[in-house]
């Protein structure tokens, strides 16, 4: 398990529970419901590529019978020249609604010390876990291939969109379309998923990415206020007064495998 590990992890409850508000517990034994994960942008532990930016997330989901409901948030992210990564996590809130988003987690990852702190604002507690990703001097994401899916389950198409300048930064775009044949997942018609990415190679991050998928709807992630200067050192300091809970896996020196 990668902890939150650069994923914006949210339990998808009824819409009113997605907001940053305390709710009364549900009484009785209700049946049904789902838990889902919204995956945000990925930030690699890239050396000598500092930046600071704001990530804007928008998630629109279809309403049966027509229409949609949309949730948004924005959060600050940064990385220093040593590959240390700072990310804020903010709860999703209804777009143009009365309820506002609140920051609920601060994440600080250090590839040199192999530490990842997930600091929960409401609980005033930081969970310390292992950070296994090594620092690297370059990052190139895996490229999808055009061709049939394994076991003839469908087809994948990759398209190079060329170069596009976003806020003065050159990015290279790509579009991946995956079509899953009827019957593969109990579906009675083809399932088509489209992803589009515009990556800035100098920092190894997508400045703009979108996802359109059945059952998920439309998700977009946009970076703004991008600067390439060294971020403030205070960002990588733990919040004052928070309890530290060490959840790293520690090898028992008396365990047989430790003596091999």
Range of the domain at 154: 45-259
Is 29 part of a structural domain of the chain?
Answer: no
How deeply is 62 buried, as exposed, middle or buried, from its count of CB atoms within 10 A (0-12, 13-18, 19+)? middle
What whole-number distance in Å separates Cα of residue 153 and Cα of residue 155? 7
What is the chain's mean pLDDT, rounded?
Answer: 86
Q: Domain for residue 14, yes or no? A: no
Per DSSP, the residues of 134-146 read PPBS---PPPP-S
Task: Name the residue among 56, 109, 103 with its Cα closest to residue 79.
Answer: 109
Distance of alpha carbon 189 from alpha carbon 154, whole angstroms: 12
- Has residue 250 been placed in a domain? yes
Q: Which of 36, 16, 13 is closest to 215 using CA atoms?
A: 36
Residue 248 lies in a domain: yes
Task: Quote the pLDDT of residue 27.
Answer: 52
Q: Which pLDDT does position 237 carry in this prediction?
A: 97
Residue 86, burial from CB neighbour count under 10 angstroms (0-12, 13-18, 19+): buried
pLDDT tens series, the chain, 260 aa: 344 433 333 333 333 334 333 334 445 556 776 666 677 899 999 999 999 999 999 999 999 888 999 999 999 999 999 999 999 999 999 999 888 999 999 999 999 999 999 999 999 999 999 999 999 998 888 888 899 999 989 999 999 999 999 999 999 999 999 999 999 999 999 999 999 999 999 999 999 999 999 989 999 999 999 999 999 999 999 999 999 999 997 655 565 544 44
Tally of domains in the chain:
1
Q: Is residue 35 one of the residues assigned to a domain?
A: no
Residue 23 falls inside a structural domain: no
CATH number at residue 133: 2.50.20.10
What gap in Å lies between CA 200 and CA 171, rounded to an integer? 5
Residue 201 lies in a domain: yes
Rounded distance between C-alpha atoms, residue 1 and residue 47, angstroms: 25
Evaluate whether residue 205 is within a structural domain: yes
């Amino acid at each position: 398990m990668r902890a939150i590990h650069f994923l914006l992890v949210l339990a998808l409850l009824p819409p009113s529970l997605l907001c940053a508000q305390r709710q009364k517990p549900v009484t009785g034994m209700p049946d049904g419901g789902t838990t889902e994960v919204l995956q945000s942008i990925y930030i690699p532990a890239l050396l000598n590529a500092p930046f600071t930016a704001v990530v804007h997330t928008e998630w629109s989901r279809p309403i049966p019978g027509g229409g949609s409901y949309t949730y948004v948030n924005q959060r600050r992210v940064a990385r220093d020249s040593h590959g240390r990564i700072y990310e804020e996590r903010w709860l999703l809130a209804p777009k143009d609604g009365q309820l506002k988003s609140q920051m609920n987690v601060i994440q600080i990852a250090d590839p040199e010390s192999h530490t990842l702190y997930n600091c929960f604002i409401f609980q005033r507690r930081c969970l310390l876990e292992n950070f296994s990703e090594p620092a690297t001097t370059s990052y190139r994401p895996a490229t999808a291939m055009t061709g049939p899916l394994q076991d003839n389950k469908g087809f994948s198409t990759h398209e190079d969109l060329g170069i596009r300048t976003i806020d003065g930064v050159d990015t290279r775009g790509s579009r991946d379309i995956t079509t899953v044949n009827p019957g593969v997942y109990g579906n009675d018609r083809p399932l088509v998923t489209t992803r589009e990415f515009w990556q800035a190679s100098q920092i190894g991050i997508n400045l703009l990415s979108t996802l359109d998928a059945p059952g998920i709807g439309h998700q977009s992630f946009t970076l703004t206020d991008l600067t390439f200067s060294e971020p403030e050192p205070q960002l990588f300091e733990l919040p004052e007064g928070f309890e530290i809970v060490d959840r790293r896996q520690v090898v028992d020196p008396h365990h047989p495998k430790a003596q091999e």
